[in-house]
Amino acid sequence: MAKINTFKLFIEYEGTRFHGWQVQRNIKTIQGTLFDAIKQASGLDNFELYGSGRTDKGVHALEQIAHLRAPLYMPPDILRMKINDLLPADICVKLIQKESEAFHARKSAVARSYVYQIAQRRTAFGKPFVWWVKDSLNVAKMQEAASFLAGTHDFVNLSDKDTGDESSIVKVYHAGIFVEGSMIMFRICAQHFLWKMVRKTIAALVEVGRNNISPAEFSAILTKSRTSRKVEISAPPSGLFLEKVFYKQSEIVESIPRSFIPVD
């Protein structure tokens, strides 16, 4: 029986044209497109391709991680070049590494970080990568509210997922609002994320910036019971990027994000 090898794939993509990461029948997805390219590049019909987590329709990734398990002996660099030759321009495999059999893209991860871009002016270049908020935002209040995110909280009011028996408790390692020119950047690193958690958090922070919610009220959303006010609105997916997936606690560090489009 052929030996099964495990490969770790580092992937970047622009999610605008895709219905998220996870493969779906008759719908264009990142995983499905990648699967087809690997199938053609390797000549294999049966292999396992698993991502570190789902991203929604229109969400981007600076560095999504996936594992490929297959009876494949091709050198990682050759495999990467063959796959990229078959991928559309908005998906790129940046690196492939051999991994141990125990490695699992999702189960081995200890944390993930996301970045969100809010444009304070109309931009000719960045529409697919920002949320343009026309209102003037109070950034200081947004920063104060974001400071409450660090720690362990119940995000049931800041997610769309009906968790059922699954806990909605999430440990956030750090989160912050930063300004670069006309761009407001939000970065959050957490142990895991619930469905639409980042987009609802951003929507709530923008309401803080609009002076519709106070920082204290934002804090209460994190600390009140499941019967408290739920955030119903979500920020658009265009400004959201999966930034990094961490596999060691020692890798988790705070950093100030930089905009991916020209800013003033």
8 A C-beta contact, residue 242 and residue 55 = yes
Six-digit token string for 122: 């109309």
- Looking at the chain, the number of H-run helices and the number of E-run strands are 5, 10
The H-assigned helical ranges of 4-157 are: 30-42, 76-86, 139-146
Choosing from 36, 56, 160, 165, the catalytic residue is 56
Euclidean distance between CA atoms 256 and 135, whole angstroms: 24
**Residue 256, strand partner residues:** none
Euclidean distance between CA atoms 209 and 230, whole angstroms: 18
Residue with tokens 């895991």: 192
Euclidean distance between CA atoms 170 and 204, whole angstroms: 17
Active site residue 162: no
Q: Which residues are known catalytic residues?
A: 56
